[in-house]
Chains A and B, each alone.
Chain A
């Protein structure tokens, strides 16, 4: 189980994440939601170890995760929000490099890479430089790199970005399949419909603070609404969306 205990992050002049606490259990997919700039990606980067926590603690199965950062990173797979990749390498070269850097055994890793490339529909373009890949293809490379070492914890930050419908459906099933096999999955997305289908438990962040942390079913009952979108709108959307859209339309027609 992944636990965040009173985690905060202060950047110069602003508190990006403010005393966030929640847990993501093995065997279920935890949705991590919030508007742009609410601190979702910052939290995930803190969990990964890319940035230091200002205060608080991240624990995995009861032990502090950052006591041994190397061992911690061996257990997690991460799909970042932006497709940061070495674009001068081909998809195959990149995955081989990641396998080598993770010190995975060569032969089984080669087979696993081959299989992932086939299943993700990248096999024909495996020798093409990533710079020539579409956004969806880059996303698939990131996903393959995150799964290559069979991690215990998966941190997915906007994993559906750029994927076509077929690939998105596959990924949706894959996330559920991995969770059912006992992995901890923390999944951040703006696609509320997908989150509603995939996640059993959601954490909603607003201005760096947790404003909801419960199962979707319970939140629906508590707030007397029928969809996750309505829950989200009540908790994290401050503007009157209809009035705002009218203002925009008026502005461009003025």
Chain B
């Protein structure tokens, strides 16, 4: 009986391993379809990662080939850690049994350890599948390429050398992936073991955000001592190149991570099961800060507070927010890592604030822009869509009311936190006058960005249906790299000069002020129609099916018009 139960539970847990809240947005609840899409995406990534193998020049000097091989191998290890890390973040809420799991499976004749085994097996298979899919092509191509170019071939022959390379490659990748996943599991397990459940639930979402930022930031920044170098050492040790120190560190850290994760997961699993079941139907109140400031009249306060509370309490929305804040951090870190950034940082030791101002200005602008973009995308994703009937029942009101309510929500969750963070950094690094001048510029820029983000239809955050693919993340990132970053650097240089010339600084502030008034007026003019109802559907049904790709005249309304 247990084996059959194990099989059934394993299958269900495996298909549910990615957070279903996220899944329902992107795959309409079809878990198997989403898993296949993820595997296909990883295999495609594997093919892309294999393409540089074609460029290996066998006639190049051995040192050049060796440096190239080191670089590629390190890149592959770091990418494995990134992908497994993102997988761990996405499956964060499914690592432990949910409230629903306990209540659905609790009344059935299933032993607790059967559920535990099924959960562990599902996680192990999902982790294995991720690593295998990510290296489905590169895991064969690169060992072959290294071997063919005469790198790391042992005296026992080319086939033996290739086999050893192949084994070392896969062992290293699995070890790196297991290390990252175990860290995520251990972090949750320690929190679940030590904290009461309601504190754990709150801390868990903060840990999830922190893990996401650390993984993305760590991948792009790759500081010395990043674990990816330990696993590069392990790879080298396995193929016979001496890197004992790093390899030892990799093995030790892997053992510690797996051991700690195993112990705390086992302990916290039993505790979590009991705690979930013991939750009373009517929970006693706990002391917590419930206060949020009033943000205008009752209508504005209601929408803005609803937005802040939803963003704070909804895990998928927090992940979106973390993703874009993480990207902002990553851009900043990458920029600071450039030769120019490093040169400026070295000059900073002289204490001349002016020399360090351009990277700091660029960083603060990028973080503010990321915050506004993050809020825009998070607001567009619905939360409990059927519950939006309460907003649908409200009497129609001028469109400007919806815009001003959304504006306050935007300011509260994006512009104000970003400006406050910048203020803390700037006031500790710079003399007060340029710091205040830049903060004024940043504040004006952030309100301009918020006005731009308010474009489009009237919507109340989190209440409108979302059509996947609208965010066009890839386009946004390309635009950011190709256009926004150079323009920001140019503008930062201009501002740096202006910070020492009050007249020029005043002129910049005046221009930004005029742009702000202009965008605000534009938003107000667009929504001057009285009695507007906000949009609750992303697209009309006919557009969803037709997509307007063939001929707009074929649409029912249009064809009637033509006839």
Contacts and interface: CB of A to CB of B under 8 A. Distances in A.
Given A16-B280, A51-B278, A73 B29 contact: no
Interface in A110-136: 129, 131
Nearest to A155: B107
Contacts of B1: 103
A14 B109 contact: no
A48 B4 contact: no
A150 interface: no
B108 A84 contact: no
A52 interface: yes
A36 B281 CA distance: 10
Interface string B1-36: 100110011001001100010011000011100000
Given A70-B109, A101-B110, A80 B103 contact: yes
Interface string A20-59: 0000000000000000110001100100111110000000
B106 A50 contact: yes
Contacts of B30: 88
A189 B351 CA distance: 75
B26 to A, nearest CB: 13
B284 A14 contact: yes
- Greatest chain A CB density within 10 A among B274, B282, B284 is at B282
B282 to A, nearest CB: 5
B5 A42 contact: no
A51 B108 contact: no
Contact of B109 (A11, A74, A80, A97): A74
A49 B106 contact: yes
Contacts of A74: 109
Interface string B230-254: 0000000000000000000000000
Given A86-B12, A97-B8, A100-B5, A12 B107 contact: no
A102 B23 CA distance: 28
Given A50-B103, A88-B31, A129-B29, A11 B110 contact: no
A70 B23 CA distance: 33
- Greatest chain B CB density within 10 A among A45, A52, A87 is at A45
A13 interface: yes
A102 B103 contact: no
Contact of A50 (B12, B15, B24, B277): B277
B202 interface: no
A88 B102 contact: no
Given A97-B12, A103-B4, A86 B102 contact: no
A99 B322 CA distance: 41
A77 to B, nearest CB: 8
A36 B106 CA distance: 23
A199 B543 CA distance: 55
Given A98-B108, A102-B109, A52 B4 contact: no
Contacts of A80: 103, 107
A233 interface: no
A85 B104 contact: yes
Interface in A63-79: 69-71, 73-74, 76, 78
B57 interface: no
Contacts of A50: 102-103, 106-107, 277
Contact of B8 (A12, A16, A69, A100): A100
Contacts of A49: 106-107
B282 A73 contact: no
Interface string B87-114: 0000000000001101111111111000
Interface string B277-315: 110111010000000000000000000000000000000
- Greatest chain A CB density within 10 A among B9, B24, B103, B281 is at B281
A38 to B, nearest CB: 10
B111 A42 contact: no
A129 B15 CA distance: 15
Contacts of B23: 88
A197 B115 CA distance: 41
Nearest to A51: B277
Given A50-B102, A84-B103, A101-B110, 15 more contacts: A11-B284, A13-B284, A37-B281, A49-B106, A50-B277, A69-B109, A73-B108, A73-B109, A74-B109, A85-B104, A88-B30, A101-B105, A101-B108, A101-B109, A129-B29
8 contacts: A11-B284, A50-B102, A50-B277, A86-B12, A97-B12, A101-B105, A101-B108, A103-B109
Interface of B: 1, 4-5, 8-9, 12, 15-16, 20, 23-24, 29-31, 99-100, 102-111, 274, 277-278, 280-282, 284
The 9 closest A-B pairs by CB, nearest first: A73-B109, A84-B103, A103-B1, A78-B107, A50-B106, A70-B109, A100-B8, A11-B280, A88-B29
